[in-house]
Structures are given as C-alpha cells and as structure tokens.
C-alpha cells in the first residue's frame, strides 16, 4: 500500500522542481559564493550540491563522516560540471564532535575560505537522537557568523522535517530534536536581520534516500523527486526568499502563490509565531531582541566606567 500525504498552503502542490526555483534562473545565481553542505556525500545533500553547481557557485564544500563516500561524490561532481567553473572540495567532518568542527573551521581559516551559504542537512533518519542538537552544542553557527565581513550577507538553510509539527510513529526523538534545532534557528533569525544572515528552514518532502530505504519500503510512500528540495535550497539562499526569514515552510508549496497570497502575507506581518516553532493556541509575544539588550548593557557598563 502506498501512503500519500499532503499539507497544502498553496493551490499548487509540487512534487518536482519548477521554473521559479530553477537554479539556472538568473536571479538565483550563486556566482562568487562558497557553499558548505553537511551530509553532502550522498542523497539529498549531494543533489543540493548539484543544484548549487547549476547556479554557478564558485566553490562547493561537502562534509561528512565517510571519507571514501565524500571523495567519490567530489569526483562525480567534477566530472559532471567540469566546464561550469565550480571548485568542489570535501572535508571529513563529524558534526557531532566539537574537535572535528574546530578542525573544519581551522581548515577553512588557513585556506582563507569564507563560507557564504551553509546548508544543514546531516541527520540520521532513525528512531534515535540525530546530530542536529550537537550542531548547536558545538557552536558551528556562531563560528560561521563570526567570520562574516561587514556588509556581507550570509545564508543558513536548514533541511528540517514535517515531523516537527506532525507525529511520526516510533520517531519521537527525531521530531523533537529537529523541532528544537528549527526553533533555535528561528530565535536567531529574530535577533539578526536577513540582510546579515538569512535563515530559512523547510520540509524537503518524502525522499527515497539510502537512509529511508533502511526503514521504509519503496512502496510505502508516494515519494517526491530529489530535485525539488535541492533547487528549493538554492531559491532559499537568494534575496527572493528574504520575506521568509526565520520561518518554516514545505518545499512543495509554490513560492509565487505563497508570496501573492494576501492572507499569508498578512499573517507573516502580524503574527510573529506564524510558520515558526512554538506553542499552539498562544500568540507569540514580541520581546526586545537580545542584540539590543546586549547593546544597552554595554552602553551602561561604559557609562559606569566613565563615572
């Protein structure tokens, strides 16, 4: 039996890529940018690398735990896009290890590499705690943001899941940890404008990856095409998606219809908790951003020192 699932916020529900999110669309160009993709050796991560290559990213770095898999992936990408001008690199990294993460950023620093877009993709599709919370623990995002030169816009793309708002049997910890990380990014987005660091989380769809094949039969779900979330990642890492800064969406939803829906736009403007992780039934309260609070504390300390 094949199970079909849909959550439609727009009249059109995509199962594959479409022109508005095509990486070859001029307004979505990634020329001059370096892209870092966690879990980029296979599955959706590798497909995301392909999409950014089609968008003419200057450099794409894929990281993961299996060196052999990464080397094979980079070799394939170089062969496929040998005339595209994109440099492909791999770095063996365990995102659950502080030491490994530090090694990654030290490598980037010594190579004088600025990462413009980071795609959080690595996870375990299994009924146990994935690595997403470890990413927050080892302050990977802080290191990413700290390297931002003044006036340079960075992008954080989080491959989340419908499990953050839908109960999935036997996968409670997976959904909760994903919700925690998506919520964390939403809080960061509240304090940082999209002009500095644009942050978008999204459900990629039902993808029959290697991980999914270990726990599900191919006829279990009506699977989506990998190109949908891969190309959506490129769109999300562009100024066209700035109006969704800090929000969670589904890759299936048509971006043009979503942006032209007056009700959606009204709720995005008036409801700070709309399309974010929170408590159902309660209206999100707007609290002064911590960046402003910290600034006031610094000013107060300065005044005290002068006195």
Residues identified as active-site: 160, 174, 178
Residue with tokens 């989506």: 224
Q: Is 225 strand, coil or helix?
A: coil
What is the rounded distance in angstroms from the CA atom of residue 244 to the CA atom of residue 96? 28
Provide the 8-state DSSP code for 173.
H
What is the rounded distance in angstroms from the CA atom of residue 148 to the CA atom of residue 133? 23
How are the residues of the chain apportioned to helix, strand and coil, as percentages rounded to the nearest 5? 45, 15, 45
**Both ends of the chain: CA-CA distance in Å?**
75
Q: Is 101 strand, coil or helix?
A: helix
What is the rounded distance in angstroms from the CA atom of residue 83 to the CA atom of residue 64? 26
What is the rounded distance in angstroms from the CA atom of residue 203 to the CA atom of residue 186? 15
What are the residues whose beta carbons fall under 8 Å from the beta carbon of 191, sequence distance 6 or more? 289, 290, 291
Short-list 93, 101, 105, CA closest to 65 = 93
Residue with tokens 């769809």: 205
């Amino acid at each position: 039996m094949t199970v079909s699932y849909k959550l439609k916020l727009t009249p059109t529900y995509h199962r594959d890529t479409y022109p508005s999110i095509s990486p070859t669309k001029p307004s979505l160009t990634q020329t001059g940018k370096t892209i870092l993709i966690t879990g980029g050796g296979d599955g959706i991560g590798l497909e995301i690398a392909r999409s950014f290559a089609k968008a003419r990213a200057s450099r794409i770095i894929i990281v993961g735990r299996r060196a052999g898999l990464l080397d094979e992936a980079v070799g394939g990408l170089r062969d496929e896009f040998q005339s595209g001008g994109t440099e492909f690199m791999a770095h063996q990294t365990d995102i659950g290890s502080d030491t490994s993460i530090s090694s990654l950023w030290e490598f980037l620093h010594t190579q004088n590499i600025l990462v413009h877009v980071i795609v959080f993709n690595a996870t375990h599709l299994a009924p146990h705690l994935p690595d997403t919370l470890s990413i927050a623990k080892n302050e990977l995002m802080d290191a990413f943001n700290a390297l931002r030169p003044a006036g340079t816009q960075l992008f954080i793309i989080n491959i989340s899941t419908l499990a953050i708002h839908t109960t999935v049997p036997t996968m409670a910890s997976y959904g909760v940890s994903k919700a925690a990380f998506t919520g964390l990014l939403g809080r960061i987005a509240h304090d940082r404008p999209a002009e500095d660091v644009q942050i978008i989380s999204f459900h990629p769809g039902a993808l029959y990856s290697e991980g999914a094949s270990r726990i599900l039969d191919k006829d279990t779900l009506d699977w989506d095409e990998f190109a949908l979330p891969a190309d959506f990642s490129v769109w999300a890492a562009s100024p066209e998606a700035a109006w969704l800064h800090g929000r969670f969406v589904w890759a299936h939803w048509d971006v043009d219809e979503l942006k032209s829906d007056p009700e959606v736009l009204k709720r995005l403007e008036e409801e700070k908790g709309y399309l974010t992780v929170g408590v159902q039934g309660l209206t999100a309260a707007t609290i002064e951003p911590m960046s402003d609070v910290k600034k006031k504390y610094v000013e107060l300390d300065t005044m005290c020192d002068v006195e």
